[in-house]
Amino acid sequence: MERIVQQLQGASLIGAEKSKDEMLAKIRSLGRNATPSDARKAKFEAIPGDIRSVLTHNYRIYYLIEEERVVVLDVILDAEVHSVTSE
């Protein structure tokens, strides 16, 4: 997350803070509802379990749903969204 915010700060300090706040809000909301309507089921053959992803501010958050918690696995730039906004 720190790496993402530092990268965004190069373009805009305010935009970086807004993006960080949106991503953290989305991650916190997953603790209350791990299967929001905008979540996608992800398939990783090497990792067992219920892995999903949600999109927030051009970044996809991958997370694992466990019995009593949600584990954030990774946050990456969404290639589909990035390619559409770059054109």
pLDDT digit string, tens, across residues 54-69: 998 788 999 999 989 9
Model pTM score = 0.78
List of the chain residues with pLDDT < 50: 82-87
Q: In which domain, by residue range, is 23 found?
A: 2-86
Q: CA-CA distances (angstroms) from residue 83 to 11, 20, 48, 61? A: 18, 21, 30, 18
Q: Which residues have a Cβ under 8 Å from the Cβ of 76 and sit 6 or more positions away?
A: 59, 60, 62
Phi, psi of 62 (to 5 degrees): -95, 135
Q: Domain holding 45: CATH number?
A: 3.30.2310
pLDDT at site 87: 45
DSSP 49: S
pLDDT at site 80: 62
C-alpha to C-alpha distance for 1 and 3, rounded to whole angstroms: 5
pLDDT at site 84: 45
What's the domain count of the chain? Answer: 1
